[in-house]
Structure 1
Amino acid sequence: MAIEVGATAPDFALRDQHGRTIRLSDLVGHEDAVNVVLVFYPFAFTSVCTDEMRALRDGLPALVADDTVLLAVSNDSVHTLRVFADQEGLEFPLLSDFWPHGEASRAYGVFDEEKGCAVRGTFIMDKEGVVRWTIVNGLPDARDLQDYVQALGAL
Protein backbone atom coordinates (compact mmCIF):
# COMPACT_ATOMS: atom_id res chain seq x y z
CA MET A 1 0.00 0.00 0.00
CA ALA A 2 1.51 3.32 -1.10
CA ILE A 3 1.97 6.08 1.45
CA GLU A 4 -0.88 8.56 1.40
CA VAL A 5 -1.30 12.30 1.07
CA GLY A 6 -0.67 13.94 4.43
CA ALA A 7 1.95 11.40 5.54
CA THR A 8 5.52 12.38 6.27
CA ALA A 9 7.67 11.07 3.44
CA PRO A 10 10.09 8.31 4.49
CA ASP A 11 13.71 9.44 4.42
CA PHE A 12 16.14 7.67 2.13
CA ALA A 13 19.79 7.83 1.12
CA LEU A 14 20.33 6.66 -2.47
CA ARG A 15 23.21 7.10 -4.89
CA ASP A 16 22.65 8.91 -8.17
CA GLN A 17 24.08 8.13 -11.60
CA HIS A 18 27.31 9.92 -10.62
CA GLY A 19 27.72 8.02 -7.34
CA ARG A 20 26.66 10.94 -5.12
CA THR A 21 24.42 10.14 -2.17
CA ILE A 22 21.11 12.01 -2.17
CA ARG A 23 19.14 12.11 1.09
CA LEU A 24 15.57 13.34 1.29
CA SER A 25 16.36 14.83 4.71
CA ASP A 26 18.98 17.07 3.06
CA LEU A 27 16.25 18.54 0.83
CA VAL A 28 13.24 18.97 3.14
CA GLY A 29 12.47 20.02 6.69
CA HIS A 30 14.87 22.93 7.14
CA GLU A 31 15.25 26.61 6.28
CA ASP A 32 16.70 26.03 2.78
CA ALA A 33 14.23 23.25 1.96
CA VAL A 34 12.75 22.57 -1.47
CA ASN A 35 9.67 20.78 -2.78
CA VAL A 36 10.48 17.32 -4.12
CA VAL A 37 8.95 15.43 -7.04
CA LEU A 38 9.88 11.79 -6.44
CA VAL A 39 9.22 9.50 -9.41
CA PHE A 40 9.61 5.74 -9.08
CA TYR A 41 9.90 3.76 -12.31
CA PRO A 42 10.66 0.05 -12.91
CA PHE A 43 13.81 -0.10 -15.05
CA ALA A 44 15.99 1.97 -17.36
CA PHE A 45 16.00 1.17 -21.07
CA THR A 46 12.45 -0.22 -21.13
CA SER A 47 10.03 1.43 -23.53
CA VAL A 48 7.49 3.04 -21.17
CA CYS A 49 10.19 4.05 -18.66
CA THR A 50 12.33 5.60 -21.37
CA ASP A 51 9.34 7.52 -22.74
CA GLU A 52 8.48 8.79 -19.25
CA MET A 53 12.06 9.90 -18.54
CA ARG A 54 12.19 11.68 -21.90
CA ALA A 55 8.93 13.48 -21.08
CA LEU A 56 10.38 14.56 -17.73
CA ARG A 57 13.58 15.72 -19.45
CA ASP A 58 11.62 17.72 -22.02
CA GLY A 59 9.17 19.09 -19.45
CA LEU A 60 11.75 19.85 -16.78
CA PRO A 61 11.37 23.65 -16.97
CA ALA A 62 7.67 23.31 -16.11
CA LEU A 63 8.48 21.09 -13.11
CA VAL A 64 11.67 22.35 -11.57
CA ALA A 65 12.10 25.83 -10.16
CA ASP A 66 14.38 27.36 -7.56
CA ASP A 67 12.29 25.69 -4.87
CA THR A 68 11.60 22.30 -6.50
CA VAL A 69 13.76 19.31 -7.42
CA LEU A 70 12.99 16.21 -9.45
CA LEU A 71 14.36 12.82 -8.39
CA ALA A 72 13.74 9.62 -10.37
CA VAL A 73 14.23 6.24 -8.66
CA SER A 74 14.59 2.80 -10.21
CA ASN A 75 15.89 -0.56 -9.09
CA ASP A 76 18.81 -0.38 -11.54
CA SER A 77 22.46 -0.17 -10.54
CA VAL A 78 24.28 3.16 -10.46
CA HIS A 79 26.30 2.06 -13.51
CA THR A 80 23.19 1.28 -15.55
CA LEU A 81 21.69 4.64 -14.59
CA ARG A 82 24.85 6.45 -15.70
CA VAL A 83 24.69 4.92 -19.18
CA PHE A 84 20.92 5.53 -19.37
CA ALA A 85 21.31 9.19 -18.33
CA ASP A 86 24.13 9.77 -20.82
CA GLN A 87 22.28 8.08 -23.67
CA GLU A 88 19.00 9.94 -23.05
CA GLY A 89 20.46 13.32 -21.99
CA LEU A 90 18.91 13.10 -18.51
CA GLU A 91 20.44 15.75 -16.28
CA PHE A 92 18.23 15.32 -13.21
CA PRO A 93 19.27 12.79 -10.54
CA LEU A 94 18.52 9.16 -11.31
CA LEU A 95 18.67 7.32 -8.00
CA SER A 96 19.55 3.66 -7.59
CA ASP A 97 17.33 1.59 -5.30
CA PHE A 98 19.37 -1.46 -6.24
CA TRP A 99 20.83 -2.45 -2.87
CA PRO A 100 19.41 -3.19 -0.44
CA HIS A 101 17.15 -4.14 -3.32
CA GLY A 102 13.99 -2.05 -3.34
CA GLU A 103 14.39 -0.64 0.17
CA ALA A 104 13.16 2.87 -0.73
CA SER A 105 10.48 1.50 -3.06
CA ARG A 106 9.18 -0.65 -0.21
CA ALA A 107 9.19 2.31 2.20
CA TYR A 108 6.94 4.21 -0.21
CA GLY A 109 4.75 1.15 -0.82
CA VAL A 110 5.47 0.85 -4.55
CA PHE A 111 7.67 -2.26 -4.72
CA ASP A 112 6.16 -5.20 -6.62
CA GLU A 113 7.59 -8.26 -4.84
CA GLU A 114 6.58 -10.63 -7.64
CA LYS A 115 8.25 -8.56 -10.39
CA GLY A 116 11.21 -7.44 -8.25
CA CYS A 117 10.86 -3.76 -9.14
CA ALA A 118 8.97 -0.58 -8.36
CA VAL A 119 5.65 0.18 -10.00
CA ARG A 120 5.08 3.69 -11.37
CA GLY A 121 4.60 5.78 -8.25
CA THR A 122 4.99 9.54 -7.97
CA PHE A 123 5.05 11.50 -4.72
CA ILE A 124 5.20 15.28 -4.43
CA MET A 125 6.47 16.51 -1.08
CA ASP A 126 6.33 20.04 0.26
CA LYS A 127 9.30 21.73 1.91
CA GLU A 128 8.40 20.14 5.25
CA GLY A 129 8.58 16.63 3.76
CA VAL A 130 4.82 16.03 3.81
CA VAL A 131 3.32 14.17 0.86
CA ARG A 132 0.90 16.57 -0.85
CA TRP A 133 0.08 14.59 -4.03
CA THR A 134 0.55 11.05 -5.25
CA ILE A 135 -0.30 8.73 -8.09
CA VAL A 136 0.50 5.04 -8.48
CA ASN A 137 0.13 3.29 -11.82
CA GLY A 138 0.77 -0.30 -12.81
CA LEU A 139 3.85 -1.30 -14.78
CA PRO A 140 2.41 -0.76 -18.28
CA ASP A 141 0.63 2.54 -17.52
CA ALA A 142 2.56 5.77 -18.12
CA ARG A 143 1.86 8.88 -16.05
CA ASP A 144 0.88 12.30 -17.39
CA LEU A 145 3.43 15.07 -16.85
CA GLN A 146 0.66 17.70 -16.74
CA ASP A 147 -0.69 16.09 -13.56
CA TYR A 148 2.64 16.86 -11.88
CA VAL A 149 2.59 20.45 -13.09
CA GLN A 150 -0.93 20.97 -11.71
CA ALA A 151 -0.04 19.37 -8.37
CA LEU A 152 3.04 21.58 -8.00
CA GLY A 153 0.96 24.65 -8.81
CA ALA A 154 -1.24 23.84 -5.80
CA LEU A 155 1.68 23.91 -3.32
Structure 2
Amino acid sequence: MSGAGVPQVGTRAPGLTLPDTHGTPVALAQLRGTPVAVVFFPFAFSGICTAELCELRDDIAAFDDAGVRLLAVSCDPMFALRAWSEQERFPFDLLSDFWPHGEAARAYGVFDEATGHALRGSFLVDADGVLRWSVVNPRGQARPLSAYRQALAALSA
Protein backbone atom coordinates (compact mmCIF):
# COMPACT_ATOMS: atom_id res chain seq x y z
CA MET A 1 0.00 0.00 0.00
CA SER A 2 1.05 3.62 -0.43
CA GLY A 3 3.07 5.27 2.30
CA ALA A 4 0.88 8.40 2.33
CA GLY A 5 -1.68 6.87 4.66
CA VAL A 6 -5.44 7.14 4.57
CA PRO A 7 -6.58 10.70 5.36
CA GLN A 8 -8.29 11.09 8.72
CA VAL A 9 -11.99 11.87 9.13
CA GLY A 10 -12.36 15.54 10.04
CA THR A 11 -9.47 16.68 7.82
CA ARG A 12 -9.66 18.31 4.40
CA ALA A 13 -10.03 15.68 1.69
CA PRO A 14 -7.08 15.47 -0.71
CA GLY A 15 -7.75 17.20 -4.00
CA LEU A 16 -8.04 15.29 -7.22
CA THR A 17 -8.56 16.16 -10.86
CA LEU A 18 -9.11 13.17 -13.13
CA PRO A 19 -10.60 12.57 -16.58
CA ASP A 20 -14.04 11.02 -16.85
CA THR A 21 -14.88 8.39 -19.49
CA HIS A 22 -14.84 11.06 -22.22
CA GLY A 23 -11.62 12.77 -21.15
CA THR A 24 -13.34 15.70 -19.42
CA PRO A 25 -11.47 16.67 -16.24
CA VAL A 26 -13.49 16.37 -13.02
CA ALA A 27 -11.98 18.27 -10.08
CA LEU A 28 -13.08 17.70 -6.51
CA ALA A 29 -12.41 21.40 -5.76
CA GLN A 30 -14.92 22.42 -8.44
CA LEU A 31 -17.59 20.33 -6.72
CA ARG A 32 -17.30 22.31 -3.48
CA GLY A 33 -20.79 23.08 -2.21
CA THR A 34 -21.92 19.53 -2.97
CA PRO A 35 -21.10 16.45 -0.87
CA VAL A 36 -19.17 13.85 -2.84
CA ALA A 37 -18.59 10.12 -2.38
CA VAL A 38 -15.23 9.07 -3.82
CA VAL A 39 -15.15 5.31 -4.36
CA PHE A 40 -11.84 3.73 -5.37
CA PHE A 41 -11.97 0.26 -6.91
CA PRO A 42 -9.28 -2.06 -8.32
CA PHE A 43 -10.35 -3.06 -11.84
CA ALA A 44 -13.12 -2.47 -14.36
CA PHE A 45 -14.82 -5.66 -15.54
CA SER A 46 -13.66 -7.69 -12.50
CA GLY A 47 -16.20 -9.68 -10.51
CA ILE A 48 -16.22 -7.98 -7.11
CA CYS A 49 -15.85 -4.48 -8.59
CA THR A 50 -18.72 -5.07 -11.01
CA ALA A 51 -20.93 -6.37 -8.20
CA GLU A 52 -20.06 -3.40 -5.96
CA LEU A 53 -20.60 -0.71 -8.58
CA CYS A 54 -23.79 -2.34 -9.89
CA GLU A 55 -25.09 -2.33 -6.32
CA LEU A 56 -24.31 1.40 -6.09
CA ARG A 57 -25.95 1.92 -9.49
CA ASP A 58 -29.08 0.12 -8.32
CA ASP A 59 -29.20 2.19 -5.13
CA ILE A 60 -28.21 5.55 -6.66
CA ALA A 61 -31.43 7.06 -5.25
CA ALA A 62 -29.88 6.93 -1.76
CA PHE A 63 -27.04 9.18 -2.99
CA ASP A 64 -29.39 11.42 -4.97
CA ASP A 65 -31.76 11.79 -2.00
CA ALA A 66 -28.81 12.84 0.19
CA GLY A 67 -27.61 15.28 -2.48
CA VAL A 68 -24.31 13.39 -2.79
CA ARG A 69 -22.46 13.10 -6.10
CA LEU A 70 -20.82 9.72 -6.63
CA LEU A 71 -17.40 9.45 -8.28
CA ALA A 72 -15.89 6.00 -8.88
CA VAL A 73 -12.12 5.93 -9.44
CA SER A 74 -9.71 3.28 -10.70
CA CYS A 75 -6.28 3.16 -12.32
CA ASP A 76 -7.82 1.72 -15.50
CA PRO A 77 -7.44 3.70 -18.74
CA MET A 78 -10.28 6.03 -19.68
CA PHE A 79 -11.32 3.90 -22.66
CA ALA A 80 -11.71 0.74 -20.57
CA LEU A 81 -13.82 2.67 -18.06
CA ARG A 82 -15.98 4.06 -20.86
CA ALA A 83 -16.65 0.58 -22.28
CA TRP A 84 -17.48 -0.77 -18.83
CA SER A 85 -19.71 2.20 -17.96
CA GLU A 86 -21.63 1.82 -21.22
CA GLN A 87 -22.01 -1.93 -20.68
CA GLU A 88 -23.26 -1.57 -17.10
CA ARG A 89 -25.12 1.74 -17.61
CA PHE A 90 -23.55 3.44 -14.61
CA PRO A 91 -25.36 6.74 -13.88
CA PHE A 92 -22.31 8.21 -12.11
CA ASP A 93 -18.87 9.33 -13.25
CA LEU A 94 -16.06 6.83 -13.58
CA LEU A 95 -12.71 8.59 -13.34
CA SER A 96 -9.37 7.34 -14.63
CA ASP A 97 -6.37 7.54 -12.30
CA PHE A 98 -4.25 5.99 -15.05
CA TRP A 99 -1.71 8.78 -15.50
CA PRO A 100 0.18 9.86 -13.55
CA HIS A 101 -0.51 6.29 -12.54
CA GLY A 102 -2.32 6.04 -9.20
CA GLU A 103 -1.69 9.66 -8.15
CA ALA A 104 -5.17 10.14 -6.66
CA ALA A 105 -5.17 6.67 -5.04
CA ARG A 106 -1.79 7.52 -3.47
CA ALA A 107 -3.19 10.81 -2.11
CA TYR A 108 -5.98 8.82 -0.43
CA GLY A 109 -3.59 6.12 0.84
CA VAL A 110 -5.22 3.35 -1.19
CA PHE A 111 -2.67 2.66 -3.94
CA ASP A 112 -1.10 -0.79 -3.89
CA GLU A 113 2.46 -0.16 -5.11
CA ALA A 114 3.18 -3.87 -5.58
CA THR A 115 0.31 -4.47 -8.02
CA GLY A 116 -0.31 -0.97 -9.41
CA HIS A 117 -4.02 -0.73 -8.60
CA ALA A 118 -6.31 1.06 -6.17
CA LEU A 119 -7.59 -0.78 -3.13
CA ARG A 120 -11.27 -0.68 -2.15
CA GLY A 121 -11.44 2.66 -0.38
CA SER A 122 -14.55 4.83 -0.02
CA PHE A 123 -14.57 8.41 1.21
CA LEU A 124 -17.47 10.75 1.91
CA VAL A 125 -16.54 14.42 1.54
CA ASP A 126 -18.94 17.09 2.79
CA ALA A 127 -19.89 20.26 0.89
CA ASP A 128 -16.98 22.12 2.52
CA GLY A 129 -14.38 19.57 1.36
CA VAL A 130 -13.96 17.88 4.74
CA LEU A 131 -13.71 14.11 4.98
CA ARG A 132 -16.69 12.83 7.01
CA TRP A 133 -16.44 9.03 6.58
CA SER A 134 -14.10 6.47 5.11
CA VAL A 135 -13.67 2.75 4.81
CA VAL A 136 -10.84 0.74 3.26
CA ASN A 137 -11.44 -2.96 2.82
CA PRO A 138 -8.81 -5.65 2.34
CA ARG A 139 -8.26 -7.22 -1.05
CA GLY A 140 -11.18 -9.40 -2.10
CA GLN A 141 -13.65 -7.98 0.43
CA ALA A 142 -16.56 -5.96 -0.95
CA ARG A 143 -17.85 -2.89 0.86
CA PRO A 144 -21.40 -3.37 2.15
CA LEU A 145 -24.12 -1.08 0.82
CA SER A 146 -25.32 -0.65 4.41
CA ALA A 147 -22.09 1.21 5.27
CA TYR A 148 -22.80 3.77 2.54
CA ARG A 149 -26.38 4.17 3.73
CA GLN A 150 -25.24 4.78 7.31
CA ALA A 151 -22.66 7.35 6.16
CA LEU A 152 -25.23 9.14 3.98
CA ALA A 153 -27.69 9.23 6.88
CA ALA A 154 -25.03 10.64 9.22
CA LEU A 155 -24.13 13.33 6.69
CA SER A 156 -27.77 14.39 6.46
CA ALA A 157 -28.26 14.43 10.26
TM-score (norm 2): 0.93
Aligned CA-pair RMSD: 1.0
Structure 1 residue 65: deviation in Å?
3.5
How far did residue 18 of structure 1 move?
1.9
1:22-101 to 2 correspondences below 5 Å: 22-28=26-32, 33-65=33-65, 67-101=67-101
Q: Which residue number in structure 1 is paired with residue 143 of structure 2?
A: 143
Q: CA deviation at 1:66?
A: 6.8
Counterpart of 1:4, as a letter, is Q
Return the match for 1:11 from 15, 20, 43.
15
**Paired residues, number:** 151
Change (3 A) 1:66 1:144: closer
Q: Runs in 1 of length 4+ with deviation above 2 angstroms? A: 64-67
Which runs of 5 or more residues in structure 2 are unaligned? Answer: none
* Distance in structure 1 (CA, Å) of the matches to 2:114 and 2:46: 18
Q: CA-to-partner distance for each residue in 1:41-60, whole Å, 9 max, x for gaps?
A: 00101100010110010010
Contact 2:66/2:152 (<8 A) preserved: no
Q: Which moved more, 1:116-125 or 1:62-71?
A: 62-71
**Secondary structure of the structure 1 residue equivalent to 2:23:** coil
TM-score (norm 1): 0.94
CA offset at residue 146 of structure 1? 1.6
CA distance in 1, matches of 2:55, 2:12: 28
Give 2:75's aligned amino acid. Answer: N
Structure 1 residues 19-60: Cα deviation after superposition (integer angstroms, max 9, x where no partner): 2110000011xxxx1101110000101100010110010010
